[in-house]
């Protein structure tokens, strides 16, 4: 099974060396063999061009057990790096999701603030109209009271006139005037 560990994502260090290590003062594969380092994992397109990378482990000790231990450590390091890369990708994805959610919440907040402003303006207009209607109701109550008093006076005068007309024929009008007939109707 070929191993592809996403080597461009891997950092130089921790016992890993390869083609990119030249930029850090490491002089490449020829000195690896001279230093007694053995290649552990090969990755790339197999063309032998610049895309091929050999990883070396600079662990100590020789022999079969030491070599197997170095390979096991290298696999574990590669696995840990891959796991960290996946973790970073998940974190980036979560951050993007949270940013989208924050943008949606900001848009919703702006819409709600706009609705709140419109509602506040309508409430202010309703309170103003309510105050005007309350004032009009007070004026109308006063006018109604005046109209009721005027109606009572007119009714009283009408009765008085009828009774005086009857009094001219029957003489009962002076008694009603002396008892406050019209005045009693006005209160």
Task: Look at residue 165 in the predicted model and tell me its pLDDT.
Answer: 81
Q: Is residue 18 included in any domain, yes or no? A: yes
133-145 tens-digit pLDDT = 999 999 999 999 9
- pLDDT, residue 79, reads 96
Residue 92 resides in a domain: no
Structural domain ending residue among the three candidates 38, 64, 84: 84
Residue 156 located in a structural domain: yes
pLDDT per residue as tens digits for the range 92-124:
999 999 999 999 999 999 999 999 999 999 999
pLDDT lower than 70: segments of the chain: 1-63, 167-187
pLDDT of residue 163: 86
Domain range for 177: 151-186
Domain contains 15: yes
Question: What's the predicted TM-score (pTM) here?
Answer: 0.40
DSSP string covering the chain? ------GGGSPSBTTB--GGGGGGT---HHHHHHTT-EEEEEES-SSSSTT-EEEEE--S--HHHHHHHHHHHHHHHHHHHHHHHHHHHHHHHHHHHHHHHHHHHHHHHHHHHHHHHHHHHHHHHHHHHHHHHHHHHHHHHHHHHHHHHHHHHHHHHHHHHHHHHHHHHH--HHHHHHTTHHHHHH-
Residue finishing a domain among 84, 103, 125: 84
Last-in-domain residue among 35, 56, 84: 84
Q: Is residue 111 situated within a structural domain?
A: no
């Amino acid at each position: 099974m070929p191993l592809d560990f996403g080597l461009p994502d891997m950092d130089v260090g921790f016992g890993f060396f390869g083609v990119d290590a030249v930029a850090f003062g490491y002089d490449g594969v020829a000195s690896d063999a001279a230093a007694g380092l053995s290649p552990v994992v090969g990755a790339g397109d197999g063309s032998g061009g610049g895309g091929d990378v050999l990883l070396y482990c600079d662990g100590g000790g020789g022999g079969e057990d030491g070599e197997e231990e170095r390979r096991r450590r290298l696999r574990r390091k590669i696995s840990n790096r891959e796991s960290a890369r996946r973790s970073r990708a998940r974190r980036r994805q979560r951050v993007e999701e949270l940013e989208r959610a924050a943008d949606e919440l900001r848009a919703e907040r702006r819409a709600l603030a706009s609705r709140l402003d419109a509602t506040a303006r309508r409430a202010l207009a309703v309170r103003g109209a309510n105050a005007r209607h309350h004032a009009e109701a007070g004026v109308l109550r006063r006018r109604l009271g005046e109209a009721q008093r005027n109606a009572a006076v007119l009714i009283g005068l009408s009765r008085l006139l009828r009774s005086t007309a009857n009094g001219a024929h029957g003489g009962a009008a002076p008694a009603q005037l002396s008892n406050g007939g019209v005045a009693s109707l006005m209160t």
